[in-house]
Structure 1
Amino acid sequence: MPRRDMHVQVTHSMPPQKIEVFKSLENWVEENLLSLLKPIDNNWQPQDFLPDPTSDGFYDQIQEIQERTKEIPDDYFVVLVGDMITEEALPTYQTLLNTMDGTSDETGASLTPWAIWTRAWTAEENRHGDLLNKYLYLSGKVDMRQIEKTIQYLIASGMDSKSENNPYLGAIYTSFQERATFISHGNTAKLAKEYGDTELAKICGFIAADEKRHETAYTKLTD
């Protein structure tokens, strides 16, 4: 059997006194992070952009999506699928955040500001993959079963972000991830508009706006 190189995972690298610093920032989190969250009742939801299955025009609306997307080139959909798969790996990102010393959600329903932020951020992000997944499915342009397998493989594989259970390193990682997703969704919005699918452009634009707001939160932690 061929030898497999195993990289060494560094864990819990932050000293106890620095963990206490993060715990002491709970009031700051309430004022600076939780304030960036939008009330759920005021938030957009995926269904706001999708055909209404209870309406008489449901099938016509699906046909409109397929008409709008049929001329969009395949390489655009490669990027859009990549964006969607990234969003669908949300369980991995929440798991990562809950490995951080001093900021993790220790019960799954903790009332600490750090835990509230993680759950609320996850809940806002969850809409992104839901919406893109459904739109891609309705477009009829992609092999959804292969995409679903890829998502399952990705989540099952997990990820080592090299954060060492250190919330400061974790914030650096998430800041870059949010910036990258903001840029990517912004670019797909612009291209969708150029290709004539203004509804898809709107979808990608709304997701990009969320990512920018989340980037603002995580960069505050690193300032």
Structure 2
Amino acid sequence: MASMLNPLINTFHPGAADPISLKCFMAANSPIICQLKMRNVRKQLGLARVAATVQKTEYMAAERAEMFRSMENWVENNVLTLLKPVEKSWQPQDFLPDPSLDEGMFFDRVKEMREMACELPDDYLVILAGAMITEDALPSYQMGMNNLHAINDVTCCSSSPWARWLRGWSAEENRHGDLLNKYLYLSGRVNMKQIEKTIQYLIGSGLVLNFNDDTHRGVIYTSFQERATSISHGNAARLAKQHGDKNLAQICGIIAADEKRHETAYIKIVDKLFEIDPDYTMLAFSDMMKKKISMPGLLMYDGCMDNLFSHYSTVAQRLKIYTINDYADVLEFLIRRWNVEMLGGLSCEAREAQDYVCNLAPKIRKLEERAQATAKKAPAIPFSWIFHRQVKL
């Protein structure tokens, strides 16, 4: 049947059907035979379109993978340099009581730390616990990034600059959750078992990523995410200082500085992509914003509260740790940084994507007003992380 249909497919392909040939075909066959044959023609045409789309997609993916490989020297000289040598990096122990001190001195330091932490309100502890849980779920984030076609480090020890960056970045990020975890443990203010259960649930649930294995989308996501995290940790530092915990303020501040440096790396990568592949990068940026940049802790669960991440985010919004306006600010910053409004020479589709991105922030800001109105009516609910004490959403 396929061999019989091939000439018909060539004759009646979309947009180029020959009316004379079509009349001859219809005249030479009964209506039922015509209907059956034309149905098979349409089926064959559909399969041909799918095959052509798959072939084109595979070709473009291979072409982009080669483009990222061609960037390896650039990554070596412009991105890897933003990692700090281990011997020059801060470590969690730099901000915690030293257990090697004699017993009396160690417990004195712990006591000082607990006295400063005792003034932290419950809603702030919820925010700090949520931030720590998000940072501690690092294995999922590295796995997601490792699958990007530009990295594709199946051995987990590739010497390519892309893979070395990812491992170095993950190693630096790993200290964040480690430090916050130990701080909360020593503070005595939270239910560590419930927090530990939440971490296990989150790592076990995986990670919702809207970029699949597309590296353009992946580095746009991390550019946005790293800046957002820097802002939230910076705001947490500010509030910790206001509540009298200078040690915690320093901890959140040093983590925010790390996130800022990582943000710089990913923003530089997207800078380069806009330079060498502007059309696709613009489409990827628009697509990520249409899907929304979901936070890494989206699948949080503590074993007893549904919508845990949503409730945690609502508290963060109320405390101005990370708000809808912050989200819009990050978007506007990236548009300016990547000079998106001034990009020229784009395809029609990419220009539409450009218009969408450049006009999005004001629409997002309108949601802030609704959030504030909703917050006034929000109830107080118990959080297991603070022994089920109630916190207003």
TM-superposed deviation, 1:53? 0.6
Q: Higher relative CO (CA 8 A, sep ≥ 6), structure 1 or 2?
A: 1
Task: Tell whether 2:118 aligns with 1:86.
Answer: no
In structure 2, do the counterparts of structure 1 residues 12 and 216 end up closer, same or farther at CA, with 3 Å as the change threshold? farther
After the TM superposition, which of the residue ranges 167-176 and 134-143 deviates more from structure 2?
167-176
TM-superposed deviation, 1:14? 5.6
Cα distance in 2, alignment partners of residues 202 and 119 from structure 1: 26
Partner of 2:81: 35
Query: For each residue in 1:28-66, what CA deviation from the matched residue of structure 2 results, as whole angstroms up to 9, or x when unmatched?
Result: 110111010111100000000000111121111111111
After the TM superposition, which of the residue ranges 91-100 and 155-164 deviates more from structure 2?
155-164
Partner of 2:151: 103
Partner of 1:149: 197
The number of residues matched between the two structures is 213
Cα distance in 2, alignment partners of residues 102 and 139 from structure 1: 42
Of 101, 113, 119 in structure 2, the residue corresponding to residue 65 of structure 1 is 113
In structure 2, do the counterparts of structure 1 residues 12 and 140 end up closer, same or farther at CA, with 3 Å as the change threshold? farther
Amino acid at match of 1:55: L
Q: Which has the larger radius of gyration?
A: 2
Amino acid at match of 2:230: F
Partner of 1:115: 163
Amino acid at match of 1:106: V
Partner of 2:261: 213
Cα distance in 2, alignment partners of residues 102 and 172 from structure 1: 14
Secondary structure (helix, strand or coil) at the match of 1:132 reads helix
Task: Tell whether 2:240 aligns with 1:201.
Answer: no
Query: For each residue in 1:63-111, what CA deviation from the matched residue of structure 2 results, as whole angstroms up to 9, or x when unmatched?
Result: 1111101111111111111110110011011001111002232211110
Query: For each residue in 1:132-151, what CA deviation from the matched residue of structure 2 results, as whole angstroms up to 9, or x when unmatched?
Result: 00000000000000001111
TM-superposed deviation, 1:13? 10
Task: Tell whether 2:129 aligns with 1:75.
Answer: no
Partner of 1:6: none
Partner of 2:174: 126
In structure 2, do the counterparts of structure 1 residues 22 and 65 end up closer, same or farther at CA, with 3 Å as the change threshold? same
Cα distance in 2, alignment partners of residues 152 and 116 from structure 1: 27
TM-superposed deviation, 1:117? 0.4
TM-score (norm 2): 0.53
Aligned CA-pair RMSD: 1.4
Partner of 2:228: 180
Aligned-pair identity in percent equals 62
Cα distance in 2, alignment partners of residues 200 and 102 from structure 1: 38
8 Å contact from structure 1 (residues 13, 164) kept in 2: no
Structure 1 stretches of 4+ with a deviation exceeding 6 A read none
Query: Which segments of 5 or more consecutive residues in structure 2 lack a partner in the other structure?
Result: 1-56, 272-393
Of 132, 135, 138 in structure 1, the residue corresponding to residue 186 of structure 2 is 138
TM-score (norm 1): 0.92
8 Å contact from structure 1 (residues 13, 165) kept in 2: no
Cα distance in 2, alignment partners of residues 48 and 168 from structure 1: 36
